[in-house]
Each structure stands twice: as C-alpha cells, then as structure tokens.
Amino acid sequence: MREPLPEPRLVDVPVQGGELAVLHWAADAPGAPIAVLVHGITGNAMAWARVAGALAGEFEVVAPDLRGRAASAGLPGPYGIEAHAADVAALLDRFGADRDAGADAAVLVGHSMGAFVAALAAAGTARDRVHGLVLVDGGLAFPQPPGADLDAMLSAVLGPALDRLSMTFPDLAAVRAFWAQHPAVGPWVDVPSVAAYLARDVQGEPPALRSACVPEAVRVDGGDVLLNERVLEATADLPVPATLLWAARGLLDQTPGLYDEGRLAQLGLEPSGITAREVPDTNHYSIIWAPRGVEAVAAAVREATART
C-alpha cells in the first residue's frame, strides 16, 4: 500500500466520564456505511491507518483511542470490555448508525482485544445498529498458560508490549529502537503510518517519555479477555454473521499464532455464524499493516455491507 495515506480528523465523542478521542476518515458522499475500527489492548487508533486508507471515501471510517489509551488516556475508569463496548455504542450514536437505516448501519471491526470489544458491543449495547462484524486475530478465547495468575498470563501473552508500560525513554529515537527489536513489529517501524502509531502512544517530555497506556486499564481489560465468561461467550449470541481473520504467526512472530486450524475446530464456530479465514504470511500485528492483511480486512468489511 502506498503512503502517504489520507489524514484523519480528530473528533471528541461524549461518553461516561468525559470525551473519547476518535479518528475520523470521511466518506465521499452522505449515507455511506460506517466502519468502526477498534484497536488492541496496548494500541491506539492509528494502528488502523492502513486499513482506514483502504476504506476511506467508500465508508465513514472511525477509530477510537480506547479509554485509558493515547488521547483517551485521561478518561477515568471503570475500565473493562463492557465499558469499551458502551463507548463504542456512544460512538455509533454520534455518527448516526441505525440498523434499520440501510447504508447508515455499521460494521464493527476489532483487532486482538478490540475484537472482544466489538463482539460484546454487537451482542449487547450496539445490537440494533450493527450490520456486520469482523474479528481480526481476536474475539475468541486465547490459549492460556496453565496455573498462572493474571499478571503472569498477561506477561506471557503480551511480552515486550506490556514491559514498555513501566519504561521511560529519552527521546523518540529510543522508542523506535525499542520497537525495532520486537520480532513482529520491528520490520515495520520505519513505515510512516506505523511510526505515527508508535509515536501516538508516547506522552511526556524528553528525557522521560513513556507510554500513554494506563497500566490499570490494561490489567482490567486483560483480565476480562482472559477470564470474564460474559466477554468470552459474546460470540455465542451475535445478531449478524461474523468473519474471523487469523494470522499465521503470533505476537512475537512465532508459529503457531493465537489461532490455528486445530484450535478453531475445537472452538466450533459454525453454530455462532462465524466464518474463519487464515491470512497467510502475517503475524498478530502485521495482519492490519501488510497488504495481504489490509486487503483481507477491507474485503470482509465490504462483504458485511453487501449482505444487507
């Protein structure tokens, strides 16, 4: 995908406790369908810049900085997947999504933890405003280390992405150097849109830059993703068909990733109306950056609107 990409505008959406920061890539004409892009547990809205570039103009594309992250870091708790789902519902209110209004209905797209948020919103708070659901390497129960406590499980799953929350950096060059060593993110650090995503996470002034992610938000949200039965069972009660796009490799570029054919067979997706598709040659991060991943997500969003 060629860069530079279309520039979003920043919109503030009223939610409980304050305002949610949302990036908006406008459609070319009124009445376009709405694509809501929900990022992962330590991410931010700019993670979606490449997918947004593929959909902008054709869709009203909106991507929130979730509560406790980036420009929404100042929003207070309570945190948790249900709080994020309520914020997504408020975002849909702001942009006029209505399932009975045809083109104005929304497709929810979630990556990693964001897929659990999207699924819970579709099953509950936003049920009457959702035309389609796209889960990107998330939304279904992750494998868990046996016998570990929550903090150990989060550390095992997230690795360096979690470690950085307690670190400070002297400048943006040091932030880049940190991510350059990450086996999954490293090859992408000099792509402008990914560099902008990494920079959006940073707050403070040199020589004490740090992640804007609120550690307590990450811990509470991670607990929900790993242990909250209501969150884990949301895909059993979806009002619309869903597509799961899964990466062949994981958060550290390892094989297998979070999902594979055997694990998905055990989960039994058909009764829930979920169609699973592998996105080859991608990892948990690059599935929303690599051309093959961007094309797969954009195609799934278009398929969801075509079913209406």
As a whole number of angstroms, the distance between CA 293 and CA 245 comes to 9
As a whole number of angstroms, the distance between CA 308 and CA 305 comes to 6
Instruction: Provide mean pLDDT across the span 165-189.
Output: 97
As a whole number of angstroms, the distance between CA 24 and CA 94 comes to 12
Residue 209 falls within a domain, yes or no?
no
**Most confidently modeled range among 26-30, 157-161, 200-204:** 200-204
Residue 103 pLDDT: 45
Query: E strands, the chain, where?
Result: 9-15, 18-25, 34-38, 60-64, 106-111, 130-136, 202-203, 210-211, 242-247, 274-279
Which amino acid would we find at residue 93? D
Residue 102 pLDDT: 47
Residue 193 falls within a domain, yes or no?
no
Radius of gyration of the chain from its Cα atoms, rounded to whole angstroms: 18
Instruction: Provide mean pLDDT across the span 4-16.
Output: 95
- Check pLDDT > 70 for residue 255: yes
Residue 157 falls within a domain, yes or no?
no
| CATH classification at residue 49 | 3.40.50.1820
Give the pLDDT confidence of 146-173 residue by residue, as tens digits. Answer: 767 888 889 988 899 999 999 999 999 9
Instruction: Say which DSSP state 207 is in.
Output: T
Q: How many domains does the chain have?
A: 1
Confidence of residue 306 (pLDDT cuts 50, 70, 90): confident
Residue 62 falls within a domain, yes or no?
yes
Q: How far apart are the first and last CA of the chain?
A: 29
- Indicate the average pLDDT of the chain: 94
In the numeric block, which tokens belong to residue 283? 């990892």
Residue 96 pLDDT: 80
Query: Cα–Cα distances in Å, from 57 out to 6, 69, 124, 129, 293?
Result: 9, 27, 29, 21, 19
Residue 223 falls within a domain, yes or no?
yes
Model confidence, pTM: 0.96
Instruction: Provide mean pLDDT across the span 194-199.
Output: 98
Looking only at the bridges linking them, the beta strands covering 60-64 and 34-38 are: parallel
Q: What is the span of the domain harbouring residue 70?
A: 9-143+215-306
Instruction: Provide mean pLDDT across the span 73-99.
Output: 91
